[in-house]
Amino acid sequence: MQYENILVETNGKVGLIRLNRPKALNALNDQLMDELGDAMLKFDADENIGCIVITGSEKAFAAGADIGAMANYTYMDAFKGDYITRNWEQIRHVRKPVIAAVAGYALGGGCELAMMCDFIIAADSAKFGQPEIKLGTMPGAGGTQRLPRAVSKSKAMDMCLTARMMDAAEAERAGLVSRIVPADKLLDEALAAAATIAAMSLPVVMMVKESINRAYESTLAEGVQYERRMFHSTFATEDQKEGMKAFVDKRLPIFRNL
Ligand code: HXC
């Protein structure tokens, strides 16, 4: 697939995807989302990649779904075409960790895309919001579901109903983002975090991601049982033997993803 709306590169064992529709503040149209899904699945299948970073520009991670493209949609267009989420689901099939590095606006579908990632590193310039209500519509790619889980029901209601934006400091206080960095350090910080993850044992990384995601999809008792089984599974890996032996030998481990 030829990419026209994203830029894709590798940085050691990290796959980096930049959303790249600068004139439209990275508004997410169908073509961009097809390209993003394709690039992510390719990185997921590439055994030289251990972690993926998605970022936008200094001004915008993404200002939402493309309003012009959907302005004239009828209900039947949206329903029959399974509009929006059809090609947004790919990210959920990615088993390697995905970090969103967010500077500037992450609005509507842009905020939802960031929340689909495993964690968000924000520049101090980041602004998050679900302003769809101002357009006479509502979040359609998980915003009403992931936002309350991330920031509480009260803040999610406030943001989705008033359309107000949250700055980076509030987003960190509320738990939406894992860290804030100065805007000019954003990519370095995200790539360094991704490189740290990519140096771990990939199968164990995937078990951790799956287990944490279970926290959202099951009861506490089921989640704890799932985690226990995953924990037991790590003892079937060679990397666990290597990791613990390296600690005992007082040296760094060499993980072989086995
Ligand atoms: C299409 C967009 C866009 C969008 C910005 N642009 N956001 N085009 N879809 N979501 C375009 C503008 O039309 C403009 O194009 C250019 O990008 C620059 O935007 P400006 O508005 O001139 O910039 P600025 O004044 O700095 O304001 C920035 C902004 C504002 C606050 C982010 O652009 C804005 O409010 N955008 C819409 C945000 C939004 O409502 N998002 C939710 C979308 S609905 P021209 O050609 O004029 O230069 C949604 C539904 C999701 O996401 C449902 C499921 C996925």
ipTM value of the model?
0.98
More confident residue, 70 or 168: 168
- Measure the CA–CA gap between 149 and 189, rounded to whole angstroms: 25
Please report which confidence band the pLDDT of residue 80 belongs to, taking 50, 70 and 90 as the band edges: confident
In DSSP terms, 102 is beta-bridged to 122
Please report which confidence band the pLDDT of residue 39 belongs to, taking 50, 70 and 90 as the band edges: very high
Nearest CA to ligand 1 atom 33: 63
pTM of the complete model: 0.95
**Cβ–ligand 1 contact at 27 (below 6 Å):** yes
* 203 to 89, 231, 238, 256, 258: CA distances (angstroms): 22, 12, 10, 10, 7
pLDDT at 187: 98
Ligand 1 centre to CA of 65 (Å) is: 8
Mean pLDDT confidence for 113-131: 98
* 172 to 55, 64, 130, 188, 215: CA distances (angstroms): 18, 21, 17, 19, 20
pLDDT at 217: 84
Ligand 1 centre to CA of 241 (Å) is: 51
Residue to mutate, 67, 86, 167, ligand 1, most ligand atoms under 8 Å from C-beta: 67
pLDDT at 5: 98
**Cβ–ligand 1 contact at 30 (below 6 Å):** no
Ligand 1 centre to CA of 97 (Å) is: 28
